[in-house]
Amino acid sequence: MRDENQALIRRVVELLFNRKLIGLIDDLYAPDCRSDSPEGLCVGQDALRALFEKYERAFPGFRIEIRDLLSSGDRIVLQYTFHGVHLGDLAGYPPTGRRLHVPGVLIARVANSRIVEQSLYWDSLGPVRQLWLASVVERQSGSPNLAPPVRAI
């Protein structure tokens, strides 16, 4: 069971998040799945799909890096880092072209080989510092804490 659940989470990361095969949501998540995050509660595959598409528009081609993966029974804990370039509107903030690296944790419950419940936690202050509140002095000084803007091709 543990190996199967870890394999499911690895498929979610690789196929859904990293390869953007959004049609697989129906295979990876239960129809009435619940997903709680700093964005709020999403219930059902369509709500989850909309949340995914929102982040894909804001950070086209974003990637999830698996840092650690643990499981016990029907629960899986994934420690990850989100990597993306802010090229689309998000929460009313216009694109900055800046690289974003955000650590996070996903805790999922699996039943019948599908995710039925998940909670996502991420560093909500990090993106604000990385994208929107970086001081003019830091930008001008070339601070290593800030990645240079990236231009879309």
Q: For 3-44, what is each residue's pLDDT tens digit? A: 899 999 999 999 999 999 999 999 999 999 999 998 899 999
Residue 151 has pLDDT above 70, yes or no: no
- The residue count of the chain comes to 153
Q: Where are the alpha helices (DSSP H) in 17-90?
A: 25-28, 45-58
Pick the range with the lowest mean pLDDT from 11-20, 55-64, 89-98: 89-98
- The yes-or-no verdict on residue 138 having pLDDT over 60 is no
Task: Give the domains, in start order, of the chain with CATH numbers.
Answer: 2-141 (3.10.450.50)
Interacting residues of 125 by C-beta distance below 8 A, sequence separation 6+: none
| CB neighbours of residue 45 within 10 Å | 18
What is the identity of the amino acid at 84?
G
* Dihedral over alpha carbons 52, 55, 56, 61 (to 10 degrees): -120
pLDDT of 58 above 50: yes
Instruction: Report pTM.
Output: 0.80
Residue 96's pLDDT is 83
Q: Are 151 and 97 in contact (CB under 8 A)?
A: yes
The type of residue at 56 is E
pLDDT at position 94 is 83
Per-residue pLDDT, 153: 45
Instruction: Measure the CA–CA gap between 147 and 145, rounded to whole angstroms.
Output: 7
